[in-house]
Amino acid sequence: MRRKNSRSSADKNAELDMTPMLDIVFIMLIFFIVTSSSVKESGLDVNRPQAKTAEKLEQAHIIVAISPVGEIWIDKKVVDIRAVRANVARLHAENPLGSVVITADREAQTHVLVSVMDQIRLAGINNASIATEAESQ
């Protein structure tokens, strides 16, 4: 009888406590969520125009690119001018504190740029910026 009692107490001590491991998993999850980038890339490399008053914006959350031939890129996809408003509104709803930056190629036509800015303003965003490069001296 005595052996039976000692065995049951040994079984109780053999249990593995999972709490510290779960704590580590949750801490790692929080770390990866915080450090992951929430920037929406346009999917197009453009030659931005130069400006003496160019300022560096630390992070833009919505990037709209305009190619030299007038294509509009949002979130790595070509978008029609009529869909710019809906796409920007959707991306802005996902991150309301995000800013909008238009990266137009220096060869892009002005009427395309104005149309994109108009669609962004119609989406309810009044603080869209145009990306430029600092002028080399």
pLDDT digits (tens, 9 = 90+) for 62-72: 888 898 898 99
CB under 8 Å to 17, separation ≥6 — which residues?
A: none
pLDDT digits (tens, 9 = 90+) for 72-99: 988 888 999 999 999 999 888 887 777 8
**Does the global pTM surpass 0.85?**
no
pLDDT digits (tens, 9 = 90+) for 10-42: 556 667 778 888 888 888 888 777 766 554 555
User: Taking the domains of the chain in order of start, what are their residue ranges?
Assistant: 2-35, 50-134
Tell me which residue of 94, 95, 92, 66 sits closest to 81, measured CA to CA: 66
CATH of 50-134, one of 3.40.50.720, 3.30.2080.10, 2.60.40.10, 3.30.420.270: 3.30.420.270
Are 100 and 88 in contact by the 8 Å Cβ rule? The answer is yes
Q: What integer pLDDT is reported at residue 99 of this predicted model? A: 81
> In this structure, what DSSP letter does residue 75 have?
T
